[in-house]
Each structure stands twice: as structure tokens, then as C-alpha cells.
Chains A and B, each alone.
Chain A
Amino acid sequence: MSELVLHDPLASEVRRMAEIEGTTAEQIVAEAVRQYRAAARERKIRAEAEWWRNAAPELRARYAGQFVAVHERQVIDHDTDENLLFERVQERWPGAAVLITAATGRPEVHIRHPQVIES
């Protein structure tokens, strides 16, 4: 078992939050790490998507009709089958946030789900 030492004022802040929430300091830290991780992965996927959208037309054209996997601003793999590509990426880059997108962009998603609410 390894230990991580927090110094004040962070340690006091974590203890205070744990008291307010009725939980343990460890759970507060775990939740903070979970949220940080999700935000960091989202930033990476959005950055990779932005890079791919702005990539040279000839690079995008090379993969027309396929899905591409983009990691650290490089196309690391491609396939016509999205799920086969996803499986390979999971095997070769486990845990990494890798963009998997249609080379020419995914279609816009529609929800036709209006709900009547009381006025």
C-alpha cells in the first residue's frame, strides 16, 4: 500500500468537504480524480477531433470511406469497420483516449423527442 501526503491548505479543505458531504477524505479525493480524469480525456478527444477537422484535405481524402483512429495528432490506424478498429485500438493502446471518427465526419445526430410540459 502506498501513501500520498496532502499538505495544508489542501488537506484541511478536503477534510472540511468530507465533513460537509458526510463522507471520507479518501472518497472526496477519489471523486475529484474521477472528474479530473473525465475532463482531461474529453479535452484530448476534442483536441484530436479539431486537429482531424483541420487536417490537410489530401490526408483526409486518403481515408475516404473509412474510420480513422487519431492519437497525439497522428493517424495510428484505419478501417472500414468502426468496431474492428475500436477493438484493435483498445488492444494496442489500452487506457488511452483515442479519437475514432469517420474520415469525412460523422453525420449530425437527430432526436425527434419533443415532450409536452405543463405551461
Chain B
Amino acid sequence: MSRPFDADYTPPAPMLQVQLARRGEGPRLGPALAFVDTGADVTFMPRDWLDELEATEIDVVRVRGIFGESRSALLYKVDLIVEGQRLPNINVIALSSSSEIILGRNVLNRLVLLLDGPGQTTDVLSQRPKAGRLLRESAEALAGPV
């Protein structure tokens, strides 16, 4: 299913729907939209969500932003359901100061994503499309309408 970009961001941002679950249980929180962020090493969640889930804390990590500031944060393990696909034992960091969910590369690297900028949609694919089909579609897109 194609998930539209969120136009509340400027420019519009790719999002995916997520739900949160305790280990081996059904979804308890969500669905909510999460920001697709290949620039984040790890996934971030609002602390309220993790407390409500009674998620399992496992460690303390240092988090550094692009301007060099750094802070200590708790690391948790949860089961994350992304567009219906369950990913068990995912490390997520608690964000106390934000209600945003940020999907970092520890999650994104497990998915085959199609990010359609001009169409402003994101899809999670079951497998990588064949290279020939991708090239043909790219060439058609570059040629534009006849």
C-alpha cells in the first residue's frame, strides 16, 4: 500500500505507519505515522509511548545531533510493526522532548522501500523489483509524457 508523504513538513516527508508491541504480543500502541530518516542511526520513539507499553529498557547510549550537541538517552527493545510487517527485538531510543517517531537505519535497512519523490508516496515492497523493469520505468519517466 502506498503511504502518502506528510505535507505538514516542508518539503513533504516520507512516512510509514507503525505499531508497537511487547515481545510476542499483539500491537498495543498505534497505528501512527513515523518519519523515514536514513540519516538516523537508530529509531526514536516518544518516551510516553515506551512507558505506556512498559517496554524493556536495556542500556544507556549517547546521542549526538548534527550540530555536535550530545545527550544521554535510554535504549529499549520492542517489537515494531511497520506497514503490517513485524520486526522483533528492535532497538529504539526514548525521546522525551518530542512526539515524533523517527525510523532510523536499524529498521530501514531491513525493508525494501520505494521512495517516489515526484509521486510523494512511499511503499514497502515484498522484494526488490527486477533491475530491467526499474531501468525501463526510469527511462520512461525521464522521457516524460509523449
Contacts and interface: CB of A to CB of B under 8 A. Distances in A.
Q: A and B: real partners?
A: yes
Interface of A: 34-35, 37-38, 41-42, 45-46, 49, 83, 86-87, 90, 97-101, 106-114, 116
Interface of B: 10, 23, 37, 39-42, 44, 51-52, 54, 56-67, 70, 73-75, 77, 88-89, 93, 102, 104
Contact of A100 (B23, B44, B58, B104): B58
Given A35-B51, A38-B51, A83 B40 contact: no
Contacts of B66: 110-114
Contact of B89 (A37, A86, A101, A111): A86
Contacts of A38: 51
A109 B64 contact: yes
Contacts of B75: 106
Contact of B10 (A87, A109, A111, A116): A116
